Structure formats: structure tokens, C-alpha cells
Amino acid sequence: MRSGNLLDAWLDMTLRAFLRIWEKLGTGCAPTRSCDGEYLNVLLNRRQSRHVWLDSCFCRIVLICLGICDLIVNLFSRIGPEKGVIHLATAAVNNALWDMFARARGKPLWKLIVDMTPVRDIVLRLSQLVNATAFRYITDVLTREEALAMLKAKEAGKREREALVTEVGYPAYITSAGWLGYSDEKVFRLTKEALASGFNHFKMKVGADFKDDLRRGKMIRSIIDDPANYPSGFKDPLSPELAGKNAGPTGAVLMIDANQVWDVPQAIDYVTGLAEIKPWFIEEPTAPDDALGHAAIRRALKPYGIGVATGEHAHNRMVFKQLFQAEAIDVCQIDSCRLAGVSEVLSVLLMAAKFGVPVCPHAGGVGLCEYVIHLSVIDYVAISGTMERNVLEFADHLHEHFPYRCTMNKRGRYNVPSNPKEGYSIEMYKESIAEFEWPNGSYWVGARGGKVLST
């Protein structure tokens, strides 16, 4: 088969994969079954003699397909642009293409990307990584040339950073103990369990009732600040990694999350009242795309040593650009499915590194932990070069439904994915989908038949 015909076959395969994913978008978010590279594996098995050619041109084909995605987005720009359902669909397609790319190379996504060297490709005229990053509308703060220089500057020590994070894991914080609606007994138990698992960063939800929030915050503080709950010792609260985090005497850090519930003046008054529980930051205090509102809140809370974090509902890189320009946030919280996939995430990681803002991705939803560990490792090894002040969210539920589930070590850190078959996957077990898919999964069929549902 001639290479031109094979390229046509690749493009046809990708478009069929695109349609397959698009049909899965019933909920308006990333599909539960990403394009898992099945078409790719079939083609490779049938074309053993073309392996070398396929490997050398695959990056170019992915970039062509990303261009096709841009074309489709532009066609539907009247219900966008670069936001809403079209942007979410773009995220699903972009993430699926990166998944296929990584599986074709036999690497988890983070490894695929950190192995890309920031040198100019003879054909593409730019480094692979820079050429795969979204720069449109952000070149007033970050140009391709600046990004290339940043990546080159971080080449030194990259292998040492990779070895370190692989050995010790990536720092994490836990949300599972702090959900609204939990009884005091459950909060106490879950907080103690998190301490025993090695966590020292904890987040609780706030905004429903001030008195209850203050009481719950004091209760969690009483547990995580008690040296008796650290039989193996605790961290020095004056260590550089805890500087500016309002760490307690045991080095434990508390964060609070309002999920966009307040207007700007309300946010300032409410969080000021919670200053005695010493939160590191308030997450999503107001509307997620109000950059100037976040900036006003940050200025008002700075005398109390409380920072501002947001990003899980920032729908594109332009919102992040404005947050950085307005000095509105202390912590950047990317979402792997809200932004338009890995290509747009890379642009935000690069901007955050330029502005010196630590990235602590959002991972409080099903499958997000499995995704974002790749993004945090990419940030540490190849872009920012630091994980000293970064912590990646961990929510301890429903991981049993994923073949390539994330895991934690005894230090309360994410283990770095190492399965060469993983790619960038949030694939779920077929049995889980058959049971829980709405509305015809066996779980819901049983409910309609009067069966008492398990929880």
C-alpha cells in the first residue's frame, strides 16, 4: 500500500473514531469510554511492515486530526465559541487522540510528552510539544518562542525529576472527608483514616451555613493539628513547601471550597469570618469566569493570609490568561475535561509556569484522578520543574470501575502511572457500564422494578 493511501486510511479511521466519541456525549462531558486505540491496534497488527513509517509520522497525523477538530469547532462556533458543549466535545476528541498516540508508542501519556525534546522538527519547524499546544488568543502573554525557550530551560535535570517523582510519588490532598452533609462521626472517621494514609492536606466544602462551616472546620483542625495523631512524626510547619499555606503545628494544611456560591462582597465577608480555622485558600469563591471579582477577593483576603484558587470551571485558556494577568489567583486548578483536552491544558501549564502560579488540578469527579496525574507529572518534569508547593486532588471513590485506576502510596502521594498500555485512559469496565449506564443498566432497571438500590 502506498503511503498516501495509508494516510487516507488513518484519516478515515480518525474520523470514524471522532463520530464514535461524539455519539457517546450524552451527558455533555468526556465519554466514559474514551477512544481506546482499538482502530490503531488493528491497523498496526495488519501492517507490521509499516511500523517504522507509522511511528515517524504519527505525530504529524495527530496534528492534522487536531486541525480537523478545530475546523469542526469553527463550524459550530455560533453555539460556542470555545465554551459550552462544543468545547467539552472537543476535549473528548483531543483527549482520545492523545490516548491513541500514547498507546501507539507504548507509553503512558505523561511519559510520551516528557520524552518529547524541545528541538525544532525538520518538517514541522517547531518542537513537537510546542506545535501540539494551543496558542491562539494568548500570544499577548505567551508566544511559541517563549514556550520553546521555557521548555529548553527545563531540559536540565528533567531525567532526575522523572526519577524522583517515580520514586516518591506526586503530592496529593484529599477531599473525601470534607463533603457537606456528612455526620460529625463520619467526618472524624474519614479524617483519621486520611491521616493514617499519609495525607497532610485536607479540603472541606463550605457555603451552606456559616456556623456549621466554622464548627466543622474547628473539628477537622482539632484532628489534623493534634501531634498524637502522628505516631510516625509530622512535617515542620516552617518548611519551604508549607510556607504561606497556614499550616498548623503538625504541618497540616486545610483548604475550603465554596463551589461558586457567593457574590464578591459575600465571599470576602464569609471567608474573613472563617480566618480562625486558617485555610490556605478559598476555592471558587464566586463566578468562575469573573477574573476581576477573584482579584478583588484575593486583595481583601491577603491580610489574613488566605489565598484564592479557581479553575475547575474556567472553560478555556483565555479565562486563565485573564486570571493570571489580573493577579487574581494563588493556585491554578485546571480540569482535564473542561478545557479542550491535553493540547489546551499544555497552554495553561505553560502560562502558569511563566506567572509562577502553582498548578493543583481539580480531580473531584469520576475518572478525573486517573486523568490528571498525567498532567501533574508533565508539569513537574517538563514545564514548571517543581512540585514543592503543588498538591493534586484525590477523591477516594469509584476507582474500582477503571482498568487503569490511579493508586496512592503510603506517603499520601499518587503513584506515577507505569503501564505501557494505559495511554491516557478513563476506560471503564464493560460490566460497570452494563450495570450503571442510564437508563437501561441493570441497576436502574432493577430500581424501576421495585428493587431496593444499594448505596
The residues annotated as belonging to the active site are 205, 362
Distances (CA, A) of 65 to 14, 135, 156: 7, 17, 32
Cβ-count burial 348-367 (b if 16+ within 10 Å, e if not): bbbbbbbbebbbbbbbbbbb
Quick one: cell of 194?
486520611
Distance CA 105, CA 120 (A): 20
Contacting residues for 98 by C-beta, under 8 A, at least 6 apart: 62, 109, 112, 341, 342, 343, 423, 424
- For β-strands 279-283 and 253-257, DSSP reports them as parallel
Quick one: cell of 9?
486510511
Report helix, strand or coil for 209. Answer: coil
Asked whether the beta carbons of 293 and 264 are under 8 A apart, the reply is yes
**Nearest partner of 335 among 359, 353, 354, 352, judged by Cα:** 359
Cα atoms in the 13 Å half-sphere on the side-chain side of 170: 31
Asked whether the beta carbons of 219 and 187 are under 8 A apart, the reply is yes
Residue with grid cell 518538517, as numbered in its chain: 123
The rounded radius of gyration (Å) of the Cα atoms in the chain is 22
Contacting residues for 55 by C-beta, under 8 A, at least 6 apart: 104, 105
Q: At what angle do helices 144-153 and 342-355 cross, to 10 degrees?
A: 70
Distance CA 85, CA 403 (A): 27
Quick one: cell of 79?
453555539
Partners of residue 174 on adjacent β-strands = 202, 394
- For β-strands 413-414 and 170-174, DSSP reports them as antiparallel
Report helix, strand or coil for 170. Answer: strand
Distance CA 87, CA 75 (A): 12
